[in-house]
Amino acid sequence: MEQQRPHSSAILVGAGDELMELKRLVLSDDHQKALLDFCLVEAIDWHFIPPRSPHFGGLWEAAVKTAKYHFYRAIGNSVLGFDEMRTRLCHITAVINSRPLVSISESPADLDVLTPAHFLNGGPPASFAEPDVTQLNFDRLDGWQRVSYLQQLFWSRWKEEYITSLQQRSKWRTAKPSLAVADLVLVKDENLPPMKWPLSRVVELLPGRDGVSRVAVLKTSSGITKRAVNKLCLLPLKDAVESQGSNGGMDIASTL
């Protein structure tokens, strides 16, 4: 049993009483029964992975690994306080959970997508415009600028790796389906601020002399434009949705 020895102020004594009351409530038979009934009604079934076996975690452990990899490289030798570290981790969580997964509808005029944040928070994470501070000397930045610097550095590195994973291509001798009209695509753009994902609908594909389409006409939120196909990425769950089986399930482990 862990022991705490604070001074006997009224606030701490009251907090101790509240914690003891909470402990009695959690350990009570009525609470345990109510918790089990809730899990049964909501169809919550716990499946724990083996200890010290993160590779059993699959998707979520892959996201944790990616976040830690770029987090360590973004902070380098910087020493962060508790509040700076907590804010930094909240930014990383928001960035990773802002990635588009799949189109909400097939309507050509609809550019809305589902993101992990929709399932966690009920909607996409909000962000506001900030000046680019990555070109400034880190040692001369104030507290908030330091946090912004690390957030922008993490965004640029993580986004590049994530988009590259969406653009994996096979050898030229292997036939592979190209984009199709009405596909919702992510447009590669190195100059966008954190959590901004430029989405467009494919309006037309322009084939070359060999019949291969290397340029696409896109409908964006601001109008019509053209982009090279190698600057476009299909959303990661599109293929998984199209290959959905008759039982309604789909394997998304290889798409994220």
**pLDDT by 10-residue block (mean), the chain, 256 residues:** 70 86 90 85 79 77 80 81 85 88 82 89 80 84 84 88 74 62 88 87 89 89 90 74 43 43
Asked if residue 63 and residue 34 are part of one domain, the reply reads no
Q: Is residue 89 part of a domain?
A: yes
CATH code for the domain of 233:
2.30.30.140
Element holding 206 (H helix, E strand): strand 199-207
Q: Terminus-to-terminus CA distance in the chain, angstroms?
A: 42
> 102 CB contacts (<8 Å, ≥6 apart)?
113, 114, 235, 236, 237, 238, 241
Query: How many independent structural domains does the chain possess?
Result: 2
Asked if residue 104 and residue 32 are part of one domain, the reply reads no
Q: Is residue 48 part of a domain?
A: no
Asked if residue 80 and residue 31 are part of one domain, the reply reads no
Asked if residue 61 and residue 20 are part of one domain, the reply reads no
Q: Is residue 2 part of a domain?
A: no
The pLDDT of residue 246 is 39
Asked if residue 188 and residue 124 are part of one domain, the reply reads yes
Asked if residue 164 and residue 91 are part of one domain, the reply reads yes
Strand ranges (E), 46-106: 102-103
Asked if residue 101 and residue 23 are part of one domain, the reply reads no
Domain encompassing residue 24: 10-41
Asked if residue 215 and residue 182 are part of one domain, the reply reads yes
